[in-house]
Amino acid sequence: MKVKSLFIIIGSCLVQYCFAQPVQYLKPQPQLLNTIKKNFADAARQYKAIGANFQPGQFPRSYDPAAGKLITSNSGWWCSGFYAGTLLNLYEQEHDPALLTEANRSMDSLAKEQYNTHTHDLGFMMYCSFGNAYRLDPKPGYRQILLNSAKSLASRFNPKTGCIKSWDSKPSDFLVIIDNMMNLELLFWATKETGDSTFYKIAVTHANTTMKNHYRADYSSYHVVNYNAQTGEVLQRKTAQGYADESAWVRGQTWGLYGFTVMYRETKDKRYLQQAQHIAGFILNNPNLPPNKIPYWDFNAPNIPNALRDASAGAIMASALLELCRYTDKREAISYFNAAQTILRTLSSPEYLAVPGANGGFILMHSVGHFPQKSEIDVPLTYADYYFVEAMKRYQQFSDK
């Protein structure tokens, strides 16, 4: 599974996000572009250092600053693909062969998850890794792994509920989380590659059901909806990783923003564009969104303004807004672009960006994983890094150069 350098160079010119042409009224700031260039170089140094700190078959997950210890997972953990994806995106920028070598090594250990039918996270795991690899080097081996992954993901779809099952639980539960919107991109890719509309129809049905049952009147989202698997009836709505069932867990809001933006890109159905715009409005107009646009871990956390911020949600939001702004009218586009720009400036500041050699090799500090379970609190996380790198790439694509 070796990505060829020639294809990496070619692939860097053939960006898959449909972002080739700049939007004339959205002008990136030269100073921030220079900062991003430095960020990529520093991030490459950081990620070259991470690989020396864990064993084959392990995947970096987080870092415990107090203990000075890297936290790892196995390949089945939902974040296992972000590491290779970040390495590949950094290699695309820096052309450092050490990054490529480590990405290939990580994907060798990850490949077996293509047959994992017990998780909805195959989009995260396989599309963020092998999807980037295939984008840069469209070789048959990567394609087959992605197709097998899409089939495994599709196997979790239940036509009665109209959803892909997220978490396996007791037989009477059919749990679906808002995060699952992020895994639909893999299914759209599979239809485009094969012509088999089954994947497309599953993605659209899942999104429609999510739009109907996950969202409140103000376009905030519950985290979890539990369905009756036999009838499709909604049994329960809750927010497992947020402050309370009726609160707006912030990373869930950004998963939805990103996911419905992708839905519009892949279908051109205006309902999805409107949904993404409504979600963006809820987030950006929320009175509890700080001026620097890095959100608190939950918009309804009881100790705001002393609540922890979630850099991962900020990074996801920035990346989503930098795509959404290309699909909207000028006024909204400028608003989205400026918000993303503010996030990137903030995440590039010493408050959030680790200096090379620190933070266990991770790029960003101060993310929140699962606050109620006291898991991954105020630490670096692989997906924060992945979406920060992706957002910086997308910002660069607005340059006329």
What would the pLDDT profile of 66-113 be if each residue is shown by its tens digit? 899 999 999 999 999 999 999 999 999 999 999 999 999 999 999 999
Sorted by sequence, the CB contacts under 8 Å of residue 342 that are 6+ apart come out as 292, 293
What would the pLDDT profile of 234-258 be if each residue is shown by its tens digit? 999 999 999 999 999 999 999 999 9
- The pLDDT of residue 2 is 47
Mean pLDDT of the chain: 94
Mean pLDDT over residues 354-358, rounded?
95
Instruction: Categorize the per-residue pLDDT at 171 as very low, low, confident or very high, splitting at 50, 70 and 90.
Output: confident
- The pLDDT of residue 22 is 65
Mean pLDDT over residues 300-328, rounded?
98
Structural domains of the chain, ranges and CATH numbers in brackets = 5-396 (1.50.10.10)
- The pLDDT of residue 200 is 98
Residue 192, pLDDT above cutoff 80: yes
What would the pLDDT profile of 278-287 be if each residue is shown by its tens digit? 999 999 999 9
Active site members: 121, 179
Express as a percent the part of the chain with pLDDT over 90: 91
What would the pLDDT profile of 36-65 be if each residue is shown by its tens digit? 999 999 999 999 999 888 988 999 999 998
